[in-house]
Amino acid sequence: MMRIGLFLLTNLAVLIVFSIVFAVLSRVFGLGSVFGAGGLNYTSLAVMCLVWGVVGSMISLFLSKWTAKKSTGTVVIDVPKNGTEQWLVDMVARQAKAMGIGMPEVGIFDNPQPNAFATGWNKNNALVAVSTGLIHTMTPDEVEAVLAHEIGHVANGDMITLALIQGVVNAFVMFFARVIGNFVDRVVFKNESNSPGVAYYVTSIVMDILLGILASAIVMWFSRLREYRADEMGAKLAGRDKMISALNALRPAEARPDTMPEAMKAFAISSGQSQSFSIAHLFRSHPSLDDRIAALQKLH
């Protein structure tokens, strides 16, 4: 209940701030008011939602490395202190060169579960990090495959693509939530004034939540698709057998609760999920390990 309450309060705050910002943009760029004598100005609303949705996602993208470091406690390897750190840096450098991308920052975060992630706002300004659990439980060949998987994410531009998809989805959610809110306000509650009534705001917030849940299934579908692509890239760089072995090595961890921060789960190689199918799979960022391994086995 507290999480729902915080979400509602945050959404209300976003609406208020958004209204103020858009009012300023409307005056400067002549976009017109969102509300007029006939109700919603759909052109102004569409521009407002697109700007807000995409800009919000882009800000998150630009802050992704900083957020990742803070949320996971990742320590970047500036100067390798031992052979393991030197090996990690050298391996990432070799793989990045093979893919024609800039050298990412390499880091380690303290987590007993084997895991890794890649993030950053573009291919040449990324961060690749592995957990202490991954280093301690996987063989060098398996770690190499995991690193290749993460480099695959970077080379494929998955971070910026995911951010753009999230931004566009957010824009659609905001737009249709307010269109529905306006319909309820005007048609159901018979509000004929030039200003929106309480029904508009209440309905918009409720639809933000409901449509947001449905839209997240679209974003998670893309997230699962990019995992297959990153696995394929990992197999290309490190070898298919190494990639399959690395995924199999993740099985024990999937039976335990996931300790990765919520905001980082979509970027990790493992999401700590069960293998049985349920409706929840539609909202999961990763395919099952069985499905990922089966896809790799089909590669020639």
**d(C-alpha 68, C-alpha 47), whole Å:** 31
Binding residues for Zn(2+): 149, 153, 227
Residue 262 annotated to the active site: no
**d(C-alpha 167, C-alpha 25), whole Å:** 19
Q: Which of 105, 144, 150, 232 is catalytic?
A: 150
Q: Tell me which long-range contacts 99-102 makes (C-beta under 8 A, separation of at least 24).
A: 99/151, 99/152, 99/154, 99/155, 99/233, 99/237, 100/155, 101/126, 101/151, 101/154, 101/155, 102/126
Q: What is the DSSP letter of 124?
A: T
Helix (H, G, I), strand (E, B) or coil at 273: coil
**Which residue in 120, 118, 117, 151 sits closest to 134, CA to CA?**
117
Neighbours of 155 (CB within 10 A): 22
**d(C-alpha 53, C-alpha 51), whole Å:** 6
Exposed / middle / buried, residue 78 (Cβ in 10 Å: 0-12, 13-18, 19+): exposed
Dihedrals φ, ψ of 123, to 5°? -60, -30
* Contact present, 237 and 148 (Cβ < 8 Å): yes
**d(C-alpha 90, C-alpha 141), whole Å:** 14
Angle, CA 267 vertex, CA 263 and CA 272 arms, to 5°: 80
* Contact present, 211 and 231 (Cβ < 8 Å): no
Q: What is the DSSP letter of 103?
A: P
| Residues marked as catalytic | 150
